[in-house]
Chains A and B, each alone.
Chain A
């Protein structure tokens, strides 16, 4: 049988006698070889420069912040600046103590995490372990949608709906409080924490799951004792990223926190107003005299803010990278922390949770406190007597509840803005200029301005970002230089958007002398989205199998030929998805353009890139905070901005799903 097979195949082969490839066409002269080597080298140099650009930008940001912030440290003194109890920069005897601002930032973030972490982890567990594929296919985009809502829209919603609710519920003169800021920031941090934790839980190896179920553990036992512990460091990183997001947020928090530069009294009084570092920058930067003490103090604030966020983000990045390495490098390096580390983490988390509980209990009405205490104590007592499947039921109810709450939040926000915004939408609203400080008329110049800004930003960021990613993925062996570049990108990624705004103002607007202009805004936004472009491009380049590159190189193709003809074409959808996401992000940002590019009201479109522009997010911000009345136009602006940003996200998500399916199918 085998013999026969061989024979038929042999006969079937139709071999041309002599193989006549014109070898002359293929041999290379020495000069040609040298030329092509030179070409490769120059291409590599170009890519290196784009990658190194991120490092340069970080250096410049630090340089300019320090340059403009340094005087405050010498005049006020570092300790008095950091721990001075009073921030009163406009008093006749100005005081520059940022202690209340630091405390405000920490408290708001803490509150946000108390709100967001349980909901996020519940939701992440639901999506990773319990949801049907269909539910998953609804939930994941919903979470991404939540991430896509611009922060000024959150702020607007918080200002109109949330603070009002809090004012009524707690019978306060105003709802602009720590509580409002924390809830709002918590909502904004949700998507980050959910998606990173969900990733961590989903990527726990299947054997763990099966191993646990196979010895008769319930699903809940498997989740709580195997999966979550195995994913613990990923979840920790998710929370740290969420914290970074919350600390760096400006617009939303500034719109609902009340902004009194005080330490709440008593310190757990969540109904007190407070003020954050970012909020201070957002409020005061626009009105300060350049070069004054106050100006330098604000840059000092930015330095402190940057140091805090960078520390947090580097920690998260280190954890994530450690995890990823562990996963590929060796199977022996389990994703678990050692028992001792885990005990320590749990202890820290427990202590923190307990003190928070106390804190909330003191603030809450006594009957609620009693309920929680007795409930908790009672549960602890009866827990051993409840059958495992009942425990599982209870746990799943809570997990389901968390997921429902997250969905409900999304729906409440969307429906409020859509229902109130729809009546404002009209052809006229979209195509005419604003009248009477935006109370009447339309938002045409703002729409065009926003489009101008994002198109310019992406035109700058895309080549730089793609170039950097190509260098990092295709050209380098991991070494010191890539370390430096990656750290630069990570730092850039962790920089709060308001700090980009300050940098843009100090460097582009003033130092380069470009002035408040469309161009300055485009550059600032470009720097802000650069890390996103680099990240997503890197991801999609890495997803191209090594075998394709080897196949091409083994044929004698050069590196650049391999990259441009074999690697980039299939990676293109991923790269474009990243670009669209960046556009969406840039379109919704307010803080980076607030001092660099925008004017509130302009009847005309800009003539050149050196003119200032109107922009939707800024327009909404001013309408919401500075222009009484005009409720319909506010909602209309919010809706248009939301639709614009969400449509970018929707396109990106749809494109990604489409190409993922195509890859698999």
Chain B
């Protein structure tokens, strides 16, 4: 894979108790590009994604070996500031998970926990994040209403705005459109299109067309292994592995 790697893994293995969920995964995520992770259900895409911001720390009985670096820092090194890591690597989840608070509070939550107190700064961050997430026009008159009153697609864009508000360098997206209808999906895809100018995006998706549309690079996973990884055009048009070709063309089973 070419380009500057911002995140890379070397011989990464992960076990949930006895379940060997990631098997010797080595990959490099290029900076300021969109990388898609595809593969059949249960192959370990979410698990891999959650390794990058160490969210798997929350799960009991997880064992990890191998190396993950972010900006040349090893993220499992002792003394790593996980809080700072997660600030720099934001995440958008499969199901929108706005906090049961107002829209404003949702977006300002991140800056607040990172110590921004000044009301004007917060106002500006909220507005810019919402604009950036293409949600501002839809919610600007109801910014103090509960976020739970938004539609699913709006909630997901709110979660993206919430992530943008802490100024991350990388954004992880785990099937961000799977709970959304085609119109909302198109909005999110547009958003990703814009985000790639300033951020590194890693997106998990089950939708081949979506992967082809939005990503520069694609990794194909199967049963916990990274089978193939490269430029999206290449993966989709001339995959090196037969497994990849079968999956992409839908001849699988």
The answer on a CB contact under 8 Å between B97 and A36 is no
The answer on a CB contact under 8 Å between A13 and B194 is yes
The answer on a CB contact under 8 Å between A556 and B97 is no
Q: Kindly list chain B residues whose C-beta atoms are within 8 Å of the C-beta of A23.
A: 167
Known contacts A547-B95, A550-B93, A557-B83; is A16 also within 8 Å of B109 by CB? Answer: no
Q: A536-561, CB under 8 A of B: which get 1 and which 0?
A: 00000000011111111111111001
Known contacts A551-B159, A554-B90, A555-B162; is A28 also within 8 Å of B113 by CB? Answer: no
5 further interface pairs, Cβ-Cβ under 8 Å (given A21-B167, A550-B93, A556-B85): A19-B164, A25-B121, A553-B86, A555-B110, A561-B113
Interface size on A, residues (CB 8 A): 42
Residues of chain A from 573 to 631 with CB closer than 8 A to chain B in the complex: none
The answer on a CB contact under 8 Å between B131 and A14 is yes
CB < 8 Å neighbour of A16 from B58, B100, B128, B190: B128
Q: B161-193, CB under 8 A of A: which get 1 and which 0?
A: 011111100000000000000110011011101
A26 to chain B: closest residue by CB = B114
Interface residue tally of chain B, by bracket? 35 or more
* Whole-angstrom distance between the Cβ of A456 and the nearest chain B Cβ: 34
The answer on a CB contact under 8 Å between A555 and B166 is yes
CB < 8 Å neighbour of B121 from A6, A12, A22: A22
Question: Which has the most chain A C-beta neighbours within 10 Å: B55, B167, B193, B194?
Answer: B167
A477 within 8 A of B: yes
Known contacts A25-B111, A25-B116, A556-B110; is A9 also within 8 Å of B97 by CB? Answer: no
B231 within 8 A of A: no
B132 within 8 A of A: yes
A-B contact count (CB 8 A): 133
Please, how many angstroms separate the alpha-carbon atoms of A569 and B99 in the complex? 11
Q: B80-111, CB under 8 A of A: which get 1 and which 0?
A: 01011111101101010111100000000111
Q: What are 17 A-B pairs with beta-carbon distances under 8 A?
A: A6-B190, A9-B190, A14-B134, A15-B194, A19-B198, A21-B125, A25-B121, A37-B81, A477-B60, A546-B58, A548-B100, A550-B55, A552-B109, A553-B58, A554-B90, A555-B162, A557-B110
The answer on a CB contact under 8 Å between B134 and A13 is yes
* Whole-angstrom distance between the Cβ of A142 and the nearest chain B Cβ: 32
The answer on a CB contact under 8 Å between B190 and A13 is yes
A338 within 8 A of B: no
The answer on a CB contact under 8 Å between B109 and A28 is no
B53 to chain A: closest residue by CB = A554
A556 to chain B: closest residue by CB = B87
B167 to chain A: closest residue by CB = A21
Please, how many angstroms separate the alpha-carbon atoms of A6 and B129 in the complex? 22
Known contacts A16-B131, A25-B121; is A556 also within 8 Å of B100 by CB? Answer: no
A10 within 8 A of B: yes
Identify whether the interface residues of A are mostly helix, strand, loop, or mixed. Answer: helix
Q: Kindly list chain A residues whose C-beta atoms are within 8 Å of the C-beta of B189.
A: 6
* Whole-angstrom distance between the Cβ of B96 and the nearest chain A Cβ: 9
* Whole-angstrom distance between the Cβ of A411 and the nearest chain B Cβ: 41
B3 within 8 A of A: no
B141 within 8 A of A: no
A265 within 8 A of B: no
A661 within 8 A of B: no
Known contacts A14-B137, A555-B109, A557-B110; is A548 also within 8 Å of B182 by CB? Answer: no
A169 within 8 A of B: no
* Whole-angstrom distance between the Cβ of B142 and the nearest chain A Cβ: 18
The answer on a CB contact under 8 Å between B84 and A33 is yes
Residues of chain B from 1 to 35 with CB closer than 8 A to chain A in the complex: none
Closest 4 CB pairs of A and B: A556-B87, A547-B97, A554-B91, A555-B110
* Whole-angstrom distance between the Cβ of A515 and the nearest chain B Cβ: 47
A67 within 8 A of B: no
Q: Kindly list chain A residues whose C-beta atoms are within 8 Å of the C-beta of B253.
A: none
* Whole-angstrom distance between the Cβ of B177 and the nearest chain A Cβ: 13
